[in-house]
């Protein structure tokens, strides 16, 4: 029989930043006190499989700017963030880029795509 464990988190789901109180016994959540339903989900997720939205930039050839911003289409496993960043750092794209264009499909086998955050015209198009 494992012991009762009390955990405190700050929710990052929305800008309110609610305090979350969690009581856990081993892998079982005994009680989660949160500001809303999404907060409860976040607490459960954070303590079993923490994930974050990841946003960075990728190099672009011949674009209006030398970089295009990209992000993970959904929250990405936290322990793999640095590995993801190092892969994205090696990528090079050619302008024009379109918003939501897949830059890296199924990143690190997670099933999560990395997509472009904006249109980026070629430098000659301006």
Partner 1 sequence: MIKQVYDVVVIGSGPGGVAAGIAAKKAGAEDVLILERDVEPGGILLQCIHNGFGMENLGEDLPGPSYAQRYIIEAQGLGIVFLLETMVLDITHQRKIIATNKYAGIIEIQARAIVLGMGCRERTRAQIRLPGSRPAGVYTAGTAQRWVNIEGYMPGNNIVILGSGDIGMIMARRLTFEGAHVERVLEIMPFLSGLSRNYVQCLLDYDIPLQLQHTVKRIIGNDRIEAVETTRVDDRFNPIAGTEEIIPCDTLLLSVGLIPENELSRKAGVAIDPNIGGPYVDDDYQTSVPGIFAAGNVVHVYDLADWVTQAGFRAGENAAFFAIKTRNRELRSIPTTAGKNVRYVIPQQINKDNLAEKDVSLQLRVRQPIEAPSRILVKCGDEVITSKAEMYARPGEMISIDLKPKHYDVINSACAITVDVVERE
Residues in the chain, total: 126
**What b-and-e string marks burial along 50-62, b requiring 16 or more CB atoms within 10 Å of the CB?**
ebeebebebebee
- Among the listed ranges 26-34, 61-69, 105-113, the one in contact with partner 1 (CB under 8 A) is 61-69
Distances in whole angstroms, Cα of residue 68 to Cα of each of 48, 54, 90, 117:
33, 14, 14, 8
3-class secondary-structure state, position 114 = strand
Please pick, from the candidates 61, 78, 79, 83, the single residue that binds partner 1 as defined by CB under 8 A: 78
Q: What minimum distance in Å lies between the beta carbon of 52 and partner 1?
A: 6
How many residues sit in the footprint of partner 1 (CB under 8 A)?
A: 28
Please pick, from the candidates 7, 41, 71, 108, the single residue that binds partner 1 as defined by CB under 8 A: 71
Diameter of the chain measured on Cα atoms: 68
Q: What minimum distance in Å lies between the beta carbon of 68 and partner 1?
A: 9
Closer to partner 1 by Cβ: residue 4 or 89: 89
35 contacts partner 1 (rule: CB under 8 A): no
The position carrying tokens 């301006």 is: 126
41 contacts partner 1 (rule: CB under 8 A): no
Rounded to the nearest 5 degrees, what angle is found at the Cα of 35, between the Cα atoms of 29 and 38?
A: 70
Span 92-111, contacts to partner 1 by CB under 8 A: 99-100
The residue ranges that bind partner 1 (CB under 8 A) are 9-15, 17, 52-53, 55-57, 59, 64-67, 69, 71, 78, 85, 99-100, 117-119, 126
């Amino acid at each position: 029989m494992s012991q009762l464990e009390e955990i405190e988190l700050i929710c990052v789901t929305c800008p309110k930043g609610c305090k979350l109180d969690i009581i856990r016994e081993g892998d079982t959540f005994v009680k989660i006190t949160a500001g809303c339903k999404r907060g409860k989900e976040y607490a459960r997720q954070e303590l079993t499989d923490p994930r974050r939205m990841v946003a960075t930039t990728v190099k672009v050839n011949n674009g209006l700017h030398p970089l295009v911003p990209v992000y993970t289409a959904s929250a990405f496993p936290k322990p793999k963030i640095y590995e993801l960043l190092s892969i994205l750092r090696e990528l090079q794209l050619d302008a024009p880029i379109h918003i939501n264009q897949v830059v890296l499909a199924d990143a690190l086998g997670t099933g999560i795509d990395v997509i472009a955050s904006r249109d980026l015209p070629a430098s000659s198009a301006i």
